[in-house]
A and B are shown apart, each in its own frame.
Chain A
Amino acid sequence: MFLGVFMTTSTFTDNHFSLPPNATLRTITTIHQDLLEFVAHNDATVVEFAPDSQIDISILQLLEAARIYAGTGGKAIVLAKPATGTLLDTLRRSGFLEGMSNDDANFWLHQGEIQ
């Protein structure tokens, strides 16, 4: 099967949740299940993107959902590094960077405020 040519599973150490190199619709179901379980069992989650990872809009949506879930459960979720490369490009292309709130800018770009 075509799906087997790349690593599809996320990896976890301490409170770090590392996304697989392919974080797209093809793997989003597995990532969703893993992240949901991880956030449920950790008070703080640090999400790490793989270098040069393949991403699409589904992972942006998933992380936004994770922010809501963590927020309502009194938990914290952050990105290990501010968005760069393909992640930043996908944020831009999908219209996430326009109209960002402070919280959004803090989460995605590690910026306190976006003008």
Chain B
Amino acid sequence: MSFPDPIAVFRTEAAELLEQVEAGLLDLNVNLGDKDQIDAVFRGLHTLKGSGAMFGFEALAAFTHHCETAFDRVRKGEVPATQALVTAVLDAKDHMRALVETPSGDHEARSEYLLASLRQAVEGSDGNASPAAAGPALTLYKIRFSLPQNAMANGTNPLPLLDELRELGECRIVADRSGIPSLDQLFPTDLHLSWSVELLTAQPRSAIEDVFIFVMDEMELEIAAEQASAPAVTPAPVEAVASTPSAQPVSEAPAPVQPPAPATAPVPAVVPVDAKSSKASENVRVPAEKLDELMDRVGELVIAQSRLSQLAGGSGDLQLRAVSEDVERLSGELRDTMMVLRMVPVAHLFGRFRRLVHDLAHETGKTIELVTEGETTEVDKSVIERLADPLVHLVRNSCDHGLEPPEERIAAGKDGAGHISLSARQQAGEVIITIKDDGRGINKERVRAKAESSGLIQPNASLTDQELYQLIFQPGFSTAQTVTNLSGRGVGMDVVKRTIDALRGTINVASHPGKGSEISLAIPLTLAIIDGLLVRVGSGRYVIPLSAVEECLELSIEEDMRSRGRSFISLRDSLVPFIRLRDLFRTGTKPDPFQKVVVISTGSERVGLVVDQIIGDHQTVIKAMSKLHHDVATFSGATILGDGDVALILDVGHLVAEGQQQEAHLRAAG
């Protein structure tokens, strides 16, 4: 029997909690009176503290306690939420992450510094909020609760909960041990205890519910209230037992607790709070590497199925063909299911930019509003992970160079606050992520001057706007007049370009002087398996991603001869450039009598690829090119065909760009 590593589980949970806390703080920063966000931040901090203590992260628990206390005061109306407090807790949250990741590190000095900032933020607040009114008459609550079986493994320590109940008033707590199994049946990280509690308190029911606030959704809690005219719970003898020397007979301890007699008939106020428990248990957390492993297996299955199909197709055995078709269908369904499992919404990715923009606004002294759209758009998890860095560079660039300082914006008749929008949408087999700002736009003249001075282009070279904008992605290219700690070294955009290229994506730039710029990243939805169109060029076979294929046409020898030197086909009144792959790949073979043109596109750009034969569609498991071939731009990867041969996968973005370049040159030549 293998058990999950509780520390690893805690770290995962803590990371999620910290993200929730950060999101809550950023929302609160927009609306400082938002009670829901104050509660959400408090709950997150409270849970993190409790879980941290449970798993031995004492420094984390102690540090988080101070932030929790600060928010508890905000929650109770003792101090107002301020931007200074939000900023202090945001900084503290980063430190909590460090305390989770490297608990044995030297964090003391940083902790002290941050806690001093936190104190300052709290003390700097106007603490004139009215204290809570005196509580109502004493009430006896009979409470029964059980936590979910995996509560301890998930970081919930029952002891602090019980301690908190004791803090509410006079309390008698009895553990119900009847659910504990025999040692050989025990799952030691599961919780098999439940509790019954009698609590005499002036606090309202909500104070009891608050104790369980962060486990409420998954636990069973019953609270029955009875009015009590006077405190009826005698001091618990457990205190005496606890301080009694062990040698002393327990019988010498003070008189035992008697349950207080109810002053009135019990009020039927049972509150079952387990409505969501069944829903929560439907989700299973799976380590990402397990998904990758499964994906590899599915990939191998798809290749094996492809070989089986080929063998079955070549044999006259009808039964074999039927089985092969079944396997093909099943492996296709399995592949589709697998792809869905790997898809995650971009909300997770976008979430981190709220914090980035908040910090950048602080650093640059600008007011920046970030708007995100299309957060539910789903993308393969490996794509999401790799998009983070390029997006950071693009957002930083927009904040630092794109948006003007408030006074400059106002002088230009704009809103003093700059706006950045981050949006995602699916389009065919791609996800389009757009970063747009309403800043000063890209200065074309400066880009050209810089490109000329650094020898990237010839002086007065004829370039389209798009070609000119693409120069900003060259290594070391920066038009910034000053290098700040945010950007200006010309490194970031190079990273963007390299990452997007590696993802087989494309970058499109649009800019309007004085109005802002827009950079769109078009990325394939998945990097693992694609539907491809298998074609033959000479004696070699190649795969074109099917999502990029618009249509297929026949190119007769006559038409081919006619188009020599121009390489355009007329397609519904528009000229589409085409590339003869036989020439590009230098096959040295004669063209087939009836060649085919496969029209592919990225966005609005189209290009035709002339091939000798279209073989058919092919489920393509993408294998990365070897390091030796990593720089070959025409291909984005390779795949193994059913007969064991290797076919190269064409890089659509590169070929379309090449076709467009060819068109531009031909147009320029008249």
Contact = CB atoms under 8 A, between A and B. Distances in A.
Contacts of B260: none
A61 B251 CA distance: 25
Contact of B7 (A26, A64, A95): A26
Interface stretch (B68-76, B171-179, B269-277, B481-489): B171-179
A94 B241 contact: no
Interface residues of B, number: 48
A83 B241 CA distance: 10
Contact of A24 (B56, B163, B239, B251): B56
Given A68-B181, A88-B241, A92-B241, A31 B257 contact: no
Interface string B374-403: 000000000000000000000000000000
A11 B188 CA distance: 19
Contacts of B460: none
Contacts, number: 133
Nearest to A32: B188
B250 A61 contact: no
Contacts of A89: 242
B173 A57 contact: no
B582 interface: no
B347 to A, nearest CB: 31
Contacts of A54: 56
Contact of B251 (A1, A82, A113): A113
**What range describes how many residues of A lie at the interface?**
35 or more
A56 B159 contact: yes
A95 B175 contact: yes
B571 to A, nearest CB: 62
Given A84-B246, A98-B173, A68 B183 contact: yes
A105 interface: yes
A72 interface: yes
B241 A95 contact: no
B193 A61 contact: yes
Contacts of B239: 92
A98 to B, nearest CB: 4
Given A68-B183, A94-B158, A97-B238, A26 B55 contact: yes
Interface in A60-96: 61-62, 64-66, 68-70, 72, 81-84, 88-90, 92-96
A3 B242 contact: no
A98 B236 CA distance: 9
Contacts of B341: none
B6 A62 contact: no
A36 B255 CA distance: 38
Contacts of A109: 241, 246, 250
Contacts of A72: 182
A51 to B, nearest CB: 14
A115 B251 contact: yes
Contacts of A65: 180-183, 185-186, 192
B169 interface: no
B528 to A, nearest CB: 31
A39 interface: yes
A81 B246 contact: yes
Instruction: Give the 4 A-B residue pairs with the shortest CB-CB distance, closest first.
Output: A69-B183, A95-B175, A95-B173, A32-B188
15 contacts: A2-B7, A22-B56, A25-B153, A26-B6, A28-B188, A29-B188, A57-B191, A58-B152, A61-B188, A72-B182, A81-B246, A88-B242, A92-B241, A96-B175, A96-B177
Interface of A: 1-3, 5, 22, 24-26, 28-29, 31-32, 35-36, 39, 54, 56-58, 61-62, 64-66, 68-70, 72, 81-84, 88-90, 92-99, 105, 109-111, 113-115
